[in-house]
A and B are shown apart, each in its own frame.
Chain A
Amino acid sequence: AQSVTQLGSHVSVSEGALVLLRCNYSSSVPPYLFWYVQYPNQGLQLLLKYTTGATLVKGINGFEAEFKKSETSFHLTKPSAHMSDAAEYFCAVSGGNTGFQKLVFGTGTRLLVSP
Chain B
Amino acid sequence: DAGITQSPRYKITETGRQVTLMCHQTWSHSYMFWYRQDLGHGLRLIYYSAAADITDKGEVPDGYVVSRSKTENFPLTLESATRSQTSVYFCASSPSGRGSYEQYFGPGTRLTVT
Which B residues touch A43, using CB under 8 A? 4, 90, 92, 105-108
Stretch at the interface among A12-20, A44-52, A65-73: A44-52
Please give, as numbers and ranges, the residues of chain A lying within 8 Å of B99 by CB-CB distance: 51
In this assembly, does A7 line the interface, its C-beta being within 8 Å of a C-beta of chain B?
no
Interchain CA distance A100-B43 in the complex, whole Å:
17
Of the candidates A32, A90, A107, A108, the one whose C-beta lies within 8 Å of that of B101 is A32
Q: Which of A30-58 contact B (CB under 8 A)?
A: 32, 34, 36, 41-46, 49, 51
Q: How far is the CA of A43 from the CA of B66 in the complex (A)?
A: 20
- Residue tally, chain B, CB below 8 Å to A: 25
Residues in chain A within 8 A of chain B (CB atoms): 9, 32, 34, 36, 41-46, 49, 51, 90, 94, 100-103, 105-108
Q: Could you show 19 A-B contacts with beta carbons less than 8 Å apart?
A: A9-B40, A36-B105, A41-B108, A43-B92, A43-B105, A43-B106, A43-B107, A44-B43, A46-B102, A46-B104, A90-B43, A94-B101, A100-B101, A101-B31, A102-B33, A102-B45, A105-B42, A105-B43, A107-B42
Which residues on the B side are within 8 Å of A108 (C-beta)?
42
Would you call B94 an interface residue if the criterion is a C-beta within 8 Å of the partner chain's C-beta atoms?
yes
B82 nearest CB across to chain A (Å): 23
Interchain CA distance A58-B64 in the complex, whole Å: 38
CB distance from A101 to the nearest CB of B (A): 6
Q: Quick one: which of A42, A51, A102, A106 contacts B108, CB cutoff 8 A?
A: A42
Residues of B within 8 A of A9 (CB): 40
Contact of A34 among B45, B50, B102, B107 (CB under 8 A): B102
User: Roughly how many angstroms separate A52 CA and B45 CA in the complex, as a whole number?
Assistant: 25
Cβ of B2 to closest chain A Cβ, rounded Å: 13
